[in-house]
Amino acid sequence: MVKVTTEDGKIILSSKFDKTAIEGYKKLGGRWNKIRQAWVFPDTWVNQWGLSRIHQDEIPPPDGGNPGVATFFTPPAFLMPHQAAAVEISKTTPRYAFFDDTGVGKTLESLIIASAHKVKALVLCPWATIQDAWIGDAEKFTPELKVINLWMLNKKRDKNMLRRIADADVACLTHDSVGGMFDILVNAGFGMLIIDESSKLKNPKATRTKIITLLASVIPRVYILSGSPAPNDFSEYFPQVALLDPLLWGVSFYKWRTENFVQSQYEIHKYRINKSKEPGLLADLRSISRAVQKKDVLTLPERAEQIWRFTLDKAEMKAYAEMKEECKASLFDDGGNVKGGITAANVGVAIIKLRQVISGFLLDDTKSCHSLGTSKLTSLLELLELIGPHQTIICTQFQMEAVFINDSLPSSCICNGTITDSKKVQSIEDFKSGKIQYMIAHPRSLGHGVTLVNSTYSVYYSSSYSWEERKQSMDRNFRKGQENSVTVYDMLTDKLIDTVIFKCLQRKEDAASAVLGYLRS
């Protein structure tokens, strides 16, 4: 027999010895109290839900997880089959992961899910997607939902913010704003939490991850969305799974990693999944998630990826060769071995310096900019002349690159960290409306949710070494709504650092290791 009481924010549970049940208690974070002779858990919705599944015949499920009015909801006809299927999944599953490709309509299906269940929903998403994606789609497809920009209300310290939250059906907020608003959010009556780009929670040690996981534990329905949930390795799934259903993998990352991963023989800080454990882990993941691929649900035109090669002049090549030797001397001893204490950050500095030289400039220790040449910029202008009057996204990594390009083009705007959020929104709107021909953007500024299907050309003037960042930015104009073929150009020089970075992206390899090999050669 199971006896359950609540006291001071704790669930107190006593029962006869059951090894299987005890394993479940531990996964939920339960602690054995010797004095009470009982198990003690934080009194959260997710723990109540977990205990009701461990003791199905004795503990009833908590309120909020049953389908309720959604049982009778018919998905609208304009949804694609996979979107309608998502709504049906939400009727029987209160917590689920939609790891669907970018551009297949996760925002719209989430709004329909919120409409179906008629509960107040909190959406955590990147800032850039609040107005354009979430509020924009709601106005077009779910006008019955009152959607508010909670991030903006909080930023402006709106005196009526609590009343606006109470009156809203959906409130949109950035992931990093949760900490400062935690008490308000916990007491606002949210019955659903939608976490867009849940890969932002891939680090179990991050404060952001811990706070959002705690918030999710008290909200009945939680749906997470991401086109690349674990961009680096399988272990990045853990925080997202633990947030949805701790009965699967528990709440202790290190215990889970110890049980399911093996340490690399050569790099003590690297772990790889134990092959004997992999089938079970994948089965667990499949039980709470799906992954829809773009090619399976959308009929899109082709996307061609091409390389636009350019060369540096003699003076630029001399500056590059000198910088390469300087970087090599800082990283290797006379025997060609990596110096002690060298980290990925040291290698990153070398990458930045070499890439700046290729782009025709160099920032010194005082951040003063020294011009080295214009070969790359001249080659870009030749490429844009070839592209013609078409709207084009130009991706850059360095602020000075954006400045030089913007000064050289007659109809362009900058969208990166150097401009205010309001100007960034205006730049995106001007580009989408056709007022501006060229958008010069950092890939992170276009990383999540921004739709630019008015553009059919993208040029990577320079690339980062993050595959996730690259993939997200490439999908801004290659997604639902695109009716024309898309062409992507990468500007590269033969045998220099940008080609090394590009090859790492293609193979999803570690850039730091590849750069060390390049410099050593």
pLDDT in tens, 162-171: 999 999 999 9
- Distance CA(174)–CA(303), nearest Å, equals 31
pLDDT tens for residues 261-305? 998 776 667 888 899 999 999 999 999 999 998 888 888 788 888
**Which of 35-44, 100-109, 245-254, 499-508 is predicted least confidently?**
499-508
Every domain of the chain with CATH number 3.40.50.10810 lies at: 68-297
pLDDT of residue 300: 78
Rounded distance, CA 495 to CA 334, Å?
24
Single-letter amino acid code for the residue at 134: W
Q: CATH top-level class for 303-520?
A: alpha beta
Q: How confident is the model at residue 495 (pLDDT cuts 50, 70, 90)?
A: confident
How many residues are recorded in the chain? 521
**Closest by Cα among 104, 238, 134 to 195:** 134
% of residues, the chain, pLDDT over 90: 62
Beta pairing, strands 271-273 & 261-263: antiparallel
Average pLDDT over residues 432-457: 88
pLDDT for the residue 120: 97
Mean pLDDT of 50-72: 90
Give the pLDDT of residue 424: 87
The per-residue pLDDT for 1 is 83
**What whole-number distance in Å separates Cα of residue 241 and Cα of residue 67?**
22
Q: How far is CA 519 from CA 63, 240, 327, 348, 364, in A?
A: 60, 38, 8, 12, 21
Report the C-alpha gap between 302 and 345 in whole angstroms.
38
CATH superfamily of domain region 68-297: Tandem AAA-ATPase domain (3.40.50.10810)
Averaged pLDDT, 332-361: 79
Tens digit of pLDDT for each residue in 230-255?
A: 877 899 999 999 999 999 999 999 99
Question: Each residue of 447-467: pLDDT tens digit?
Answer: 666 889 999 999 999 987 777
pLDDT at residue 129, rounded to an integer: 81
Q: What is the pLDDT of residue 389?
A: 87
pLDDT band at 53 (very low <50, low <70, confident <90, very high): very high
**Mean pLDDT, range 128-146, rounded to an integer:** 90
pLDDT higher than threshold 60 for residue 368: yes
User: What's the average model confidence in pLDDT over 384-401?
Assistant: 91
pTM value surpassing 0.85: no
- The segment(s) of the chain belonging to CATH 3.40.50.300 are 303-520
Residue 27 — very low, low, confident or very high, per pLDDT cuts 50/70/90? very high
Give the pLDDT mean for 406-433.
91
Beta-carbon contacts of 330 under 8 Å, excluding residues fewer than 6 positions away, are 339, 346, 350
